[in-house]
Amino acid sequence: MAQLVIEGGRALKGTIRLAGAKNSSFKLMIASLLAHGETKLNGISHISEVANVGQMITALGGRVRPAANRGLIIDTSQVNHWVIPKKLGEVSRASSLFLGPLLARFGKAVVPLPGGDAIGRRPLDRHLGALTALGVKARYLSERIEARAENLNGAAYRFRKPSHTATEEALMAAVLAQGRTRLDNCAREPEVDDLIAFLKKMGARIRRVGGVIEITGVKSLYPIEFEVMPDRNQAVSYAVAALATKGEVVITNARREHLAAFLDKLKQAGAGVEVARTGIRFFYKQALTATDITTQPHPGFMTDWGPLWTVLATQSTGISKIIEAVFTHRFQVVPDLVRMGARVKFFHPKPKNPESFYNFNLIDDEPLNYHGIMVTGPTRLYGGKFRVADIRNGATLAIAGLTASGKTVLDQAELIDRGYEDFSGQLARLGAKIERID
């Protein structure tokens, strides 16, 4: 158990460089199973999600070891198992993504149902639908999925709704399938493009045009060295922390194209943003104006950014409407923010066509789930003691604590480690008064 102790009231200032993206790092590790030998990933994030996936690869017979350049070497030459132990899947959502590579390698796979953040059901039907089209037979047994495929064969498949993990799953299965595969209505997240670049460097034949991805199967792939893209969620987190505390931060390797929807909303809110070759500067220049957001798949406003934006909304003038359209349950942080003094009201959005408006499966929703909040600001926040529920929940509460008066204590802070490398240390280097107690 870890605890963060935060004294609020300090404007954050300084320069920061992002680690490799969480949502790319662990997926590239999994994709390395498609080749035999040693693959090296550079710029990897030293986060617990990477460690969790490393344990899964080790359980399959592989070896994972650190290397220079913030690198990680994944040796798959001795991988000889296709079953991931149940206990390793409970703390991570990565387990289901092993289906594609293990089926390509062994023709069979057994993986536990994914754990991870409690943000609503993860629609595995999109994974299994694409795999079934490629010739996979899968079934649910208790808390695991068993899958088999005598041969993976190219096919045409259209995702009913975009899903970045299902798109990545299908990609990893199709690159070694016989013949051609056409995937339509695919996710367009930068992390998907990072995986495509990785697979192409390994020898895969992939062509993307917008939401359509075409794959021509090859007989084998080979191990490579690859640089992981920077983490855009970390970029937004540190930018929000600087703006909420009326400070400024320069993020040296932030990529404008990864943050376009966030940057557009910041400009609407009146925040200071300067994009240069050396990175992006975020700075407080005037009172922020309330701004509405609706989370959407890329290139829309990312679902992970919604909780973080809520803190910014408490410090903005007016009423901000925040609508969550990607997951069924993403407002767990709101009651704690209200305890800190935030003025927030839940509401039910009334879209004309819920089926097309929401990215989650409507059948997975529940009547008590609210998908919208109205945040009135500016509001003075006050510290308190809270328990972290998941990655973004913890980061949001920490940033609120930096903005608040008095002391904020966060228990179960180790959950933040799944997505942030040395989160408290990075904030301290920007001038925050924050201490981690393990």
Give the integer Cα–Cα distance in Å for 171 and 192: 9
Residue 116, pLDDT > 80, answer no
Domain with 316, as residue range(s), is: 3-9+289-437
Q: Encode burial over 30-62: b for 16+ CB neighbours within 10 A, e otherwise.
A: bbbbbbbebbbbebbbbbbbbebbbbbbeebeb
Please list the residues that pair with 6 across neighbouring strands: 408, 434
Last residue of a domain, one of 211, 227, 243: 227
Is residue 222 located within the same domain as residue 307? no
240 within domain boundaries? no
Upper half-sphere CA count for residue 345 (Cβ side, 13 Å): 9
pLDDT (average), residues 110-126: 66
- Mean residue pLDDT of the chain comes to 94
254 within domain boundaries? no
The pair of structure tokens assigned to 104 is: 């390509």
Around Cβ 197, how many Cβ atoms within 10 Å? 16
Q: What's the pLDDT at 231? A: 97
Q: Encode burial over 80-112: b for 16+ CB neighbours within 10 A, e otherwise.
A: eebbbbbebbebbbbbbbbbbbbbbbbebbbbb
159-186: pLDDT as tens digits: 999 999 999 999 999 999 999 999 999 9
pLDDT (average), residues 341-369: 94
Is residue 168 located within the same domain as residue 298? no
The lowest-confidence range among 17-31, 106-120, 300-314, 352-366 is 106-120
Report how many domains make up the chain.
2
Is residue 186 located within the same domain as residue 298? no
Is residue 36 located within the same domain as residue 162? yes
Is residue 115 located within the same domain as residue 223? yes
User: Residue 115 is part of a domain; what is its CATH number?
Assistant: 3.65.10.10
Last residue of a domain, one of 227, 256, 273: 227
pLDDT (average), residues 20-25: 95
Residue 54, pLDDT > 50, answer yes
234 within domain boundaries? no
